[in-house]
Amino acid sequence: MVSKKVTLTNKTGLHARPASNLVAFVKKFQSTVTIINGEKKANAASIINVLTLGAKQGTELEIVADGADEAVAVEEIAKYIADLKE
C-alpha cells in the first residue's frame, strides 16, 4: 500500500466534470485506489463516492493505492489532481 497527499488547487473543487474525468483516469490502473478527505473515504473508481468527498479548492486529499501498480498509480493520480484546471 502506497499513499501520497496532494492539495486540490482547482478553483471549482472536485465537482461533477473533474470528478468524472478523475474516475476515468483512475480506471486505467489495476490497483484499488482510495481518496481520503479528513474522515471521508471514497473509492476513486466511483463517481458517486468521489462526489461525496465534497472536496473544494485548498482541500488536502490523501491518495492511497493497493495493488500491482500502486506506486505509479499514486504518483500519476496525485499529479492529475494537482494539475486540474477546470
Residue carrying C-alpha cell 474522515: 39
**Domain assignment of residue 15, given as a range:** 2-82
DSSP H helices, 1-86, are: 16-26, 47-51, 70-82
How many other CB atoms are there within 10 angstroms of residue 55's CB atom?
A: 24
Q: How many domains does the chain have?
A: 1
Confidence of residue 85 (pLDDT cuts 50, 70, 90): confident
Domain containing residue 54: CATH number: 3.30.1340.10
Catalytic residue IDs: 15
Tens digit of each residue's pLDDT (9 = 90 or more) over 20-47: 999 999 999 999 999 999 999 999 999 9
